[in-house]
Amino acid sequence: MSTPQQAFDELKKLSKELTLVRSIDAVLGWERETYMPPKGEALRADQSAYLSGLHHRLFTQPRFGDLLAEVEASELMNDPDVAVNVREWRHAYDRAVKVPTELVEETTHTAVMAHSAWVEARKKIDFSVFQPHLAKLIDLTRRKAEYIGYEENIYDALLDEYEPGETTANVARLFRNLRAGLVPLVQAIAESPVRPRTEVVHREYAVDRQRVFAEAASAALGFDYLGGRLDTVTHPFASRFGPGDVRITTRWNPRFFNEAFFGVLHESGHGLYEQNLPAEHFGTPLGESVSLGIHESQSRLWENFVGRGRAFWRHFFPRARQIFPRVLDDVTMDEFYFAVNAVEPSFIRVEADEVTYNLHIMLRFEIEQAIIAGELDVADIPGAWNEMFEGFFGIKVPDDSQGCLQDVHWSFAGFGYFSTYALGNLYAAQFYARAKEDVPDLEERIALGDFAPLLHWLSEHIYSQGMRYRSRQLVERVTGQAPSHEPLMAYLHAKFGELYQL
């Protein structure tokens, strides 16, 4: 017989072990994208599959469930720290044991084939190459959702994986309101006679200088290069190994300033969150980030609300002129600020500006719900996509590589993932508005290159909390308001109304 305290200590030990397995896999994953030679692919796949299997076996052992039940029935639950860890362990454990191992393995196997098919379909611009694989993944995903269970909508079970506790109904309501505000704003911007000089960001920006500038900017925000590094990859990401080691990545484009610079700020935002999680809780949920939506709120906050802000460029534009002499000689700060904030309806989500970005997400959210609910046939996805796109953006999708084949997510059965991008934008607007209220000279400090007040505010209210609150609860506690489209719309109207003289 053990005491509840012993059971809790054993859970913590197991949780630490699980976290270390994930962390080792993260090192391998980062290395695969950065330095691994091509012939290492098969070995790396075996190494990662071994670690995933190990993680799954450790986690789903009945012992984990027994220990959880013992602590749950005890008075230890009165300790709020214990209660948070147990709540999150239970959530993850239930999701892991409810889905049969055969279904997990079949999905993994199908996703490997589906990914190659997606790459080929995109290259050939032929949806039919991907279609049977996608149909199979959708079927497997539906079965997974049924095993996990849901109250109202089958899509809830999928959303819950990326944004725990959030529901389809909530997200649908938020998106409906947001869309009602965005569509006329996009329209008004399109009709504005005022246009930015976008060519100034498409000049020759030497990559070695871009690196110096981007690293200096991210260090100024507070990204700690003694506890992290920046490397070059094809598809940028941020990865946390654990306290003291957070990796960020980017890709460099010598003829387009925005790509790497704002990419680095974006990944630095993810990195700042990870670097400022409470290290003493590493290995338990209290030492982890809340959700993908909250994570994205941090990348977006630093990339857009700070990095694409006027205050930021007051400080950094004179430095940009020093680092890129001649390139920016004939450009004013205002012109540069406008150019990095140009709004242009475009087909590709990852290239979208702050105003149109969320429309790309809403379209995916609608289509995913319809396919998971069985209301839309897989064969009809391209048609549905193109029709909806024209309705949202007023432009016709030229082909499926610029339409429904552009994103990787469906090829790994990542249904439910996309919403977190738009939720992140909404949360970011709410957090930033609140930070400005709490720190009245926030933007004056930013204009002086001093980002410490903002970083401290975010650390105190968000980073240091780990998973103490679910996303909706965290937003409410920090901002005094439930997740809402209003702060984002107010921000967009103020910023772009001024730029485009609406």
Q: In whole angstroms, how close is the CB of 421 to Zn ion at the nearest point? A: 7
Nearer to Zn ion, 8 or 162 (CB): 162
Minimum distance, C-beta of residue 289 to Zn ion, in the bound complex (Å): 12
Using CA atoms, how far residue 147 sits from 90, 141, 157, in Å, is 16, 10, 9
Angle at 298 between CA 296 and CA 304, to 5 degrees: 95
Total residues contacting Zn ion by CB under 5 A comes to 1
491: left (phi over 0), alpha (psi -120 to 50) or beta: alpha
User: Partners of 245 in the beta sheet?
Assistant: 242
Return the DSSP state at 201. Answer: G
- How far is it, in rounded angstroms, from Cα 214 to Cα 296? 20
Dihedral, CA of residue 347, residue 352, residue 354 and residue 360, to nearest 10: 40
Q: Residue 342: left (phi > 0), alpha (psi -120 to 50), or beta?
A: beta
Three-class SS of 37-84: CHHHHHHHHHHHHHHHHHHHHHHHCHHHHHHHHHHHCCHHHHCHHHHH
Which residues 292-321 are close enough to bind Zn ion by CB under 5 A?
299
Closest residue to bound Zn ion by CB: 299
Q: Residue 297 or residue 356: which is nearer to Zn ion going by CB?
A: 297
268 or 299, CB closer to Zn ion? 299
Given 161, 267, 296, 303, which residue is catalytic?
Answer: 267
In the bound complex, what is the minimum distance in angstroms from residue 401's beta carbon to Zn ion? 23
Dihedral of the alpha carbons of 296, 300, 301, 306, in degrees to the nearest 10: 160
Active site residue 443: no
Q: For residue 96, give the amino acid letter.
A: A
In the bound state with Zn ion, the residue whose beta carbon lies nearer, of 51 and 294, is: 294
Which 3 state secondary structure label does DSSP give 470?
coil
| 249 bridge partner residues | 231
For residue 265, the minimal CB distance to Zn ion (Å) is 11
User: Based on CB atoms, which residue is closest to Zn ion, 259 or 400?
Assistant: 259
Q: How many whole angstroms separate alpha carbon 30 and alpha carbon 247?
A: 8
CB-CB contact of 452 with 272 (8 Å): no
| Nearer residue to Zn ion within complex by CB, 15 or 268 | 268
Nearer to Zn ion, 295 or 495 (CB): 295
Q: Shortest approach of Zn ion to residue 229 CB, angstroms?
A: 18
Q: Within positions 15 to 44, which residues make up the interface with Zn ion, using CB under 5 A?
A: none
We find the least distance from the C-beta atom of residue 238 to Zn ion, in angstroms, to be 7
Query: Which CA distances in Å does 160 have to 18, 164, 171, 272, 374?
Result: 21, 4, 12, 25, 19
Sheet hosting strand 245-250, strand order edge to edge? 228-232, 245-250, 238-242
Secondary-structure breakdown of the chain: helix, strand, coil percentages, each rounded to the nearest 5: 70, 5, 25
Smaller CB separation from Zn ion, 299 or 471: 299
Q: Tell me whether residue 56 or residue 409 sits nearer to Zn ion (CB atom).
A: 409
Characterize the bridge pairing of strands 245-250 and 228-232.
parallel
CB of 299 to Zn ion, least distance (A): 4
Phi, psi of 231 (to 5 degrees): -130, 170
Find the shortest distance in angstroms from Cβ 266 to Zn ion. Answer: 6
Residues 396, 220: Cα–Cα separation, whole Å: 42
Shortest distance in whole angstroms from residue 253 CB to Zn ion:
18
Catalytic positions are: 267
Residues lying near Zn ion in the complex (CB under 5 A): 299
